[in-house]
């Protein structure tokens, strides 16, 4: 598998008069908890000891199934013995192979090409490069790592276990960086979640990839954020959803059951209840009443809504994009706005209420149902 990438580390002039490839790091997709520091230590293990091979090793609580690291009397690495090829004494060894290794670029290709399937499983063991290096008079060394860091994933149970470990690592990083997680175990984070100092995250919040939250903001319970930027001192949630492209300005409020998608809410905007704002720009200080909807999709394409600063959008207003509402304008409750609204204007787009006295009483009498029968 490593030699499949041979063309990418072909021999090059490295400036010392010799031609050879770069030093190699071999990593595994099923050990996701390895840190950058461990990779650095593996490379340092080559350079500081002059070894041709540096191997990550760990002390196993239960070594069954792992390759054992065989050391000589001086503590130098001699070979790696796989479980099926190990003798009884070797199986008692608890220093095990973590899989990761670094190879000196001057020797890597020669060692890799020399590996043969001479073992109980008839497989090409990458681990044989240690014994091959020693047979050529080259050194090999062990870089010790915590067992948990090289935990492998072979099924969904193990995947869940390493995900739990990674989640705690991400939560700890956020808290040590100055964020407060009210109930850390209930918060789900992504590798790139960025929480500034004094951010407060309430229980049961999910941070999908691409989220940053500015200093002093509060993310309330049961909110879901993805691909979103939240500026300082904003409030999001509870039960809010920020979708990709959401940009929430400083001191803005995004409240209960509000969804923001590919839209910018400038400083101090308030969208506190039951609204959908998609493909839009909302100016500073504007208030979006409960049930405000930007109607951005016509069945074929998406269109933008632009709302100026300090506007007031009444409850249950529908803004049919493409449309703009000027600065300081008022949109009346229940209006369906299909044309641009001038700055400081009032637009009311709804039918006038008509009252018919006594109609309800007559309707009930015609149906033969008294007013107090309790049926709704």
Provide the annotated active-site residues.
273
Nearest to 344 by CA among 332, 333, 331, 328: 328
Cα 272 to Cα 348: distance, rounded to the nearest angstrom: 22
Cα 14 to Cα 247: distance, rounded to the nearest angstrom: 47
Question: In b/e form, how buried is each residue of 275-298, taking b as 16+ CB within 10 angstroms?
Answer: bbbbbbbbbbbbbbbbbbbbbbee
Cα 257 to Cα 291: distance, rounded to the nearest angstrom: 10
Instruction: Name the 3-class secondary structure at 89.
Output: helix
Task: Give 171-237 as a DSSP string.
Answer: HHHHHHTT-EESSGGG-B--TT-EE-TT-EE-SS-EE-SS-EE-TT-EE-TT-EE-S-EE-TT-EE-
Instruction: Name the 3-class secondary structure at 330.
Output: strand
Instruction: Name the 3-class secondary structure at 152.
Output: coil
The Cβ-side half-sphere exposure at 122, using a 13 Å CA radius, reads 0
Cα 161 to Cα 88: distance, rounded to the nearest angstrom: 31
Cα 226 to Cα 206: distance, rounded to the nearest angstrom: 8
The answer to whether 85 and 119 have CB atoms below 8 angstroms apart is yes
């Amino acid at each position: 598998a490593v030699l499949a990438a041979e063309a990418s580390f072909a021999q090059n002039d490295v400036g010392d008069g010799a031609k050879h490839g770069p030093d190699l790091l071999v990593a595994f997709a099923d050990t996701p908890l390895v840190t950058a520091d461990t990779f650095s230590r593996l490379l340092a293990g080559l350079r500081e000891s002059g070894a041709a091979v540096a191997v990550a090793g760990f002390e196993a609580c239960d070594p069954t199934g792992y390759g054992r690291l065989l050391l000589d009397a001086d503590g130098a690495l001699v070979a790696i013995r796989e479980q099926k090829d190990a003798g009884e004494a070797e199986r008692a060894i608890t220093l095990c192979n973590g899989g990761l290794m670094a190879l000196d670029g001057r020797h890597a290709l020669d060692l890799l090409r020399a590996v043969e399937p001479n073992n109980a499983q008839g497989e090409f063991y990458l681990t044989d490069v240690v014994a091959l290096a020693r047979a050529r008079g080259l050194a090999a060394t062990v870089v010790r790592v915590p067992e948990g860091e090289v935990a492998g994933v072979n099924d969904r149970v193990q995947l869940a276990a390493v995900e739990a470990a990674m989640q705690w690592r991400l939560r700890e990083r956020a808290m040590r960086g100055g964020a407060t997680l009210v109930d850390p175990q209930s918060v789900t984070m992504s590798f790139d979640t960025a929480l500034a100092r004094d951010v407060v995250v309430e229980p049961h919040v999910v941070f999908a990839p691409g989220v940053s939250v500015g200093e002093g903001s509060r993310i309330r319970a049961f909110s879901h954020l993805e691909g979103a930027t939240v500026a300082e001192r904003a409030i999001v949630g509870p039960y809010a959803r920020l979708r990709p492209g959401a940009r929430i300005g400083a001191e803005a409020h995004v409240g209960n059951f509000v969804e923001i998608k590919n839209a910018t809410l400038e400083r101090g905007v308030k969208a506190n209840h039951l609204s959908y704002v998609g493909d839009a720009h909302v100016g500073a200080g504007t208030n979006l009443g409960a049930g405000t909807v930007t109607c951005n999709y016509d069945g074929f394409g998406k269109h933008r809504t632009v709302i100026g600063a300090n506007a007031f959008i009444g409850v249950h207003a529908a803004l049919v994009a493409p449309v703009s509402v000027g600065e300081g304008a008022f949109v009346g409750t229940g209006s369906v706005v299909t044309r641009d609204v001038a700055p400081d204007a009032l637009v009311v787009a709804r039918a006038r209420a008509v009252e018919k006295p006594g109609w309800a009483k007559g309707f009930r009498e015609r149906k033969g149902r008294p007013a107090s029968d309790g049926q709704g």
